[in-house]
Structure 1
Amino acid sequence: IVLATLATIIASQAVISGAFSLTSQALQLDFLPRVRVVYTSSEQMGQIYIPFVNWLMFLGTIFLVIVFRSSGNLASAYGAAIVTLMVITTLLMYVCAVSKWKWNVILAVVVTACLLTVDLAFFGANIIKINQGGWFPFLIAVLVYLVVITWTRGRRALAEEFKKEEISFDLFLSDPGLKSVTRVPGTAIYMSKNPNGVPRTMLHNFKHNKVFHERMIILTIYTEGVPRVPWPKKFKVERLEHNFIRVIAYYGFMETPDISHVVTYLKDHGIDCSIQEITFFLGRETIVVRDPRGFDGLRKQLFAFLSQNMLPATSHFNVPPNRVVEIGLRIQI
């Protein structure tokens, strides 16, 4: 009993840590809406706690206990999950072998076929138990896939919509009227997904207030396909006309973007700015669904719900709340 209890504790901790780590990486790759991530160690970046995921796993565990009642009844669900994972891992290994390891295609096919012969034998033996509990892992997989695909496609559609109305920086800076625009003291940072386009928040702010700050910084944050980006390669700064500055920050998918890093880098490279004197302008998007009918309408409503309830950018990027101006943007989909 003692050994079984210890094994259960170790296994549960592995599942919890894995769920936190995968969720964190999915957040950095913009596969999921932002949620709160708590760093539990000042020395190890990978030690994290995600309250939302923790509560989901808690509720999921209670659901499993109520529905299946005993560990024996979970055997089919566990078996279906494991053998499906084996098949997916083998298929992904083939993709990796061909695209990353540069294996000969014939060799990769032979190795994959040998592994799949074993995997599919187990898969076939377990798939017939789908009605005995094997449905549960597939249900979870479908729900997670639905959220991920809805979020990624929704964000891509929004980006394409924004791009249609976007003004290039070259065109914007060539406007002779910029010289006569009133400038107020201080530094403004506008966050933008496209470093070559004028942020919508900046245009909306100018439309209503008719002024610019004396120093205008356009900040774009990219998540690279590597775990971490070394400090010397993390930032790119370009000085533009009319005291505009373009800053691109590169982070790995295991890193969390932090505005204080950007400000520190700028100060070290001769740009006089203090985080307590900067005004951060962020956009707050409100998604309105035109037609909520049908499956497509349900997905749009799900995307609107996820957008409305995701963690604010101020918390995600560690922006001082008292230095933020949020500009609302109403978008119909």
Structure 2
Amino acid sequence: MILGIGLVIGFRDGVALANAYGAVVIWVMIITTCLTTLVMLLVWDTHVLLILMFFVPYILIEGVFMTSLLTKIPQGGWVPFAISAFFLTVMFSWLYGRSRKNAYEADRKMSLGELNQMLARNTVYRAPGTCFFYTNLVNGIPPIIRHYIQHTSSVHETMVIVTFRTLPVKKVLPEERFNVGKLGSDGVYRCLVQFGYNDSQSIAVAGDEFVASVLAKLKEQTETTEEIERLDSAAEKGVVFAIGRTILKTNPNSGWFVRFIIDYLYRFQQKNCRPELSIHEVPPGTTLQVGMLYEI
């Protein structure tokens, strides 16, 4: 009751509020019809004639209602459009920034040969212990690994590059949760942690339980006893969790639109969004954050 009175006061009269509600309802109906049509076409694999028999009558009726509301837009119907434009801007800037970030990493990811060559240098110190390096790149070795090695001149004797991925399935079986493998260089491994959209991502991904699960999977694929002993020895010397954090920045040749989207909107969202790894309960006392600036 109080909320309704407040809305009426904000719109100055009930007619403007009714116009806003009407615009929302009709656009919800149109969007629902379009999405249902897509489901019929892509998921249900319905015959095209049946899809047209559903889509055409509904879109014509809803189109008549929609055109009748066009004259109501200046009289309060503009509000849902303004709200939609705001959220569309937020979503577009985030999607655009993520796509540019993924393209940057795909173009500059390391090859196994480059990784082996870097670790073969005498200037690279192999620190004792195990390092779990978290990144977002699913395929390949992210450029932040190159950045880390070049600027620290060190790598732990066992380093596991970890990436979390949500699959388009309801649940992932426990035995399929961890997909691990050895990379080209000695002591460097890859771990892909997979979840279904209905799985809780806080399970089996934190602390000692996570370390033990990954090491167990690595040992299953290890052919020599020497390598197994090396994995156990490195784990006993201590475990460090390194989190890769990237910041996007436009280059001087970028246009004003790209600069506005990346340097202001996307950067603002990136600074204020909740870290992806916060739900994985990474131990703060053994966590190292590695940052890198992506100039796109």
User: TM-score, structure 1 length as denominator?
Assistant: 0.71
1:105 paired with 2:48, answer yes
**Equivalent residue for 2:80?**
137
Q: Secondary structure at the match of 2:120?
A: helix
Cα drift, residue 178 of structure 1:
2.8
Residues 111 and 313 (structure 1), Cα distance of their counterparts in 2 relative to 1, 3 Å cut: closer
**Equivalent residue for 2:227?**
none
**Equivalent residue for 2:120?**
178
User: For 1:143 and 1:123, how far apart are their aligned partners in 2?
Assistant: 21
Rg (Cα) greater in structure: 2
> Structure 1 stretch 193-202 or stretch 142-151: which is displaced more?
193-202
User: For 1:330 and 1:281, how far apart are their aligned partners in 2?
Assistant: 17
Which residue, out of 180, 190, 193, partners 1:237? 180
The answer to whether the 8 Å contact 1:188/1:279 transfers is: yes
Which residue, out of 251, 255, 258, partners 2:195? 251
Q: Secondary structure at the match of 2:293?
A: strand
Please give the residue correspondences for 1:154-193 in structure 2 after superposition, counting only pairs within 5 Å.
Answer: 154-168=97-111, 170-172=112-114, 174-175=116-117, 178=120, 181-193=124-136
User: For 1:332 and 1:256, how far apart are their aligned partners in 2?
Assistant: 35
Residues 128 and 256 (structure 1), Cα distance of their counterparts in 2 relative to 1, 3 Å cut: farther
Please give the residue correspondences for 1:306-317 in structure 2 after superposition, counting only pairs within 5 Å.
Answer: 306-317=269-280
**Equivalent residue for 2:223?**
none
Instruction: Map Cα deviations across residues 136-182 of structure 1 (whole Å, 9 max, x no partner).
Output: 111111111111111111111122122222212x3245438538543
**Equivalent residue for 1:212?**
155
Residues 295 and 67 (structure 1), Cα distance of their counterparts in 2 relative to 1, 3 Å cut: farther
Number of matched residues?
275
The answer to whether the 8 Å contact 1:249/1:262 transfers is: no
Q: Secondary structure at the match of 2:274?
A: coil
User: For 2:11 and 2:114, how far apart are their aligned partners in 1?
Assistant: 62
> Amino acid of the residue matched to residue 129 of structure 1?
K
User: For 1:223 and 1:282, how far apart are their aligned partners in 2?
Assistant: 19
The answer to whether the 8 Å contact 1:179/1:242 transfers is: no
User: TM-score, structure 2 length as denominator?
Assistant: 0.79
Taking only aligned residues, the RMSD between alpha carbons, in angstroms, comes to: 3.3
Percent of paired sites with the same residue: 27
Which residue, out of 253, 260, 267, partners 1:298? 260
- Structure 1 unpaired stretches of 5+: 9-60
User: For 1:166 and 1:247, how far apart are their aligned partners in 2?
Assistant: 17
Q: Secondary structure at the match of 1:158?
A: helix
- Structure 2 unpaired stretches of 5+: 220-230
Cα drift, residue 83 of structure 1:
0.8
The answer to whether the 8 Å contact 2:104/2:294 transfers is: no
The answer to whether the 8 Å contact 2:132/2:239 transfers is: yes
**Equivalent residue for 1:324?**
287
User: For 1:187 and 1:62, how far apart are their aligned partners in 2?
Assistant: 61
Residues 286 and 173 (structure 1), Cα distance of their counterparts in 2 relative to 1, 3 Å cut: closer
The answer to whether the 8 Å contact 2:250/2:295 transfers is: yes
User: For 1:191 and 1:150, how far apart are their aligned partners in 2?
Assistant: 24
The answer to whether the 8 Å contact 1:190/1:218 transfers is: yes
**Equivalent residue for 1:266?**
214
> Amino acid of the residue matched to residue 147 of structure 2?
H
1:86 paired with 2:86, answer no
1:286 paired with 2:247, answer yes
The answer to whether the 8 Å contact 2:8/2:17 transfers is: no
Cα drift, residue 278 of structure 1:
2.3
The answer to whether the 8 Å contact 1:201/1:282 transfers is: no
